[in-house]
Amino acid sequence: MANIDLDKMLEKVKSSQWLLADIDWDAPGAEMISDEQRPKLTRFMSDLVWIEHVGARGFAAMAKNAPDDTLRQLYTYFHAEEQRHANAELALMRRWGMLEEGDIPVPNNSIRLSIEWLDRYADDLPYHVLGSVIPALEVALDGALCKFLLDEVSDPVCHDVFARINDDESRHLGVGFTVMEMQGHDKTLLDLVEMITPAVDLRVVLGLVVYWPLLNKMRDNVVAMGLPEEKLFGAMKKFEKIGGRTAAGRRNPFFRVISAHMKTVMDRDQLFYHVPVDLMVRLTDRIPRRLLPAVPSWVKELTAEPYA
Ligand SMILES: [Fe+2]
Ligand SMILES: [Fe+2]
């Protein structure tokens, strides 16, 4: 994945586009979902659909702030791909009888707040911050959760859908990590300080208040799905492994901060972190829905119709 050529990557992305219509949604296999699995899987899929939207919104902001045209185009494609993932997952939910016609699953409060935060602030965030946070979220959530699902579900249509989604994800990660390395390249200490300074403001603090509980919440959800949390932690470790494989990557201050944080997330013995953050998860869960702001209008682009 190291030092990929972004122009070639753009060509690859263009030629790898797929449609929901490419999938035979009525093929046999839907009956392989057991009644026992159904409630857990419904919750897991609902979260997954919304995580895709977190990714989509993040890429929209990246496209807006991209430093050159190739990256702008890549992020624009990735934005559309994340929306396609959400739509494909909705179509799977409908196939499995988890959604009525026209229904949209409800996001958990943590995801809901993350979307709200992204919607308000992501466009104004320094590109460097997004450039490191997005690969972290992609590795830990977007990419990882999809893979877990395949261990639990045998429906061949699900495997067909996720083969395509995972292919897209590997390109998102390839670009994400390359950009992170580019941002650590040839930087003097002064440059690094300049990268960090605009990141320190209230929006970012608010972002942490949303981001920390989101990770713990998703960990709890993975456990609720009957999966060992080590699986999620295994995915998180990839962030450090891939992001830190070159000196330039390791020099990126955001990479360092995020991987140090990931280590804390993975270590339940770090009570100074987990006690307050788990409390934040419980408080977030308790926020009554009426107190949460309305879902942003772009969410209406959610559809399980196979033309998307
Ligand atoms: Fe995705
Ligand atoms: Fe992604």
- pLDDT tens track for 77-128: 999 999 999 999 999 999 999 988 778 888 888 888 888 888 888 888 878 8
Expressed in angstroms and rounded, the spacing between residue 148 Cα and the centre of ligand 2 is: 15
**Residue 1: pLDDT over 50:** no
Q: Contact, 179 vs 3, CB < 8 A?
A: no
Q: Give the total number of structural domains in the chain.
A: 1
Identity of residue 192: L
Task: Quote the pLDDT of residue 75.
Answer: 95
Question: Is 119 contained in some domain?
Answer: yes
Expressed in angstroms and rounded, the spacing between residue 165 Cα and the centre of ligand 1 is: 6
Burial pattern 64-89, b for ≥16 Cβ within 10 A else e, equals bbbeeebbebbbbbbbbbbbbbbbbb
- The predicted model scores a pTM of 0.88
**Domain interval for residue 175:** 6-10+35-296
**Ligand nearest to C-alpha 137:** 2
Whole-number percent of the chain with pLDDT over 90: 39
Question: Is 248 contained in some domain?
Answer: yes
Question: Is 25 contained in some domain?
Answer: no
Task: Quote the pLDDT of residue 210.
Answer: 86
Cα–Cα distance for residue pair 204/202, rounded to 1 Å: 5
Question: Is 29 contained in some domain?
Answer: no
Expressed in angstroms and rounded, the spacing between residue 268 Cα and the centre of ligand 1 is: 27
Q: What's the mean pLDDT when you consider all of the chain?
A: 86
Expressed in angstroms and rounded, the spacing between residue 179 Cα and the centre of ligand 2 is: 15
Expressed in angstroms and rounded, the spacing between residue 141 Cα and the centre of ligand 2 is: 9
Expressed in angstroms and rounded, the spacing between residue 78 Cα and the centre of ligand 1 is: 8
Question: Is 192 contained in some domain?
Answer: yes
Q: Of 1-15, 34-48, 181-195, where does mean pLDDT reach its minimum?
A: 181-195
Expressed in angstroms and rounded, the spacing between residue 267 Cα and the centre of ligand 1 is: 26
Question: Is 275 contained in some domain?
Answer: yes
**CATH assignment at residue 211:** 1.20.1260.10
Q: What is the pLDDT of residues 119-174, one digit of tens each?
A: 888 888 878 888 888 888 888 887 778 778 888 899 999 999 999 999 999 999 99
- The label of the residue with tokens 């972002």 reads 207
Question: Is 18 contained in some domain?
Answer: no
**Other C-beta atoms lying within 10 Å of the C-beta of residue 238:** 17
Expressed in angstroms and rounded, the spacing between residue 151 Cα and the centre of ligand 1 is: 18
Question: Is 301 contained in some domain?
Answer: no
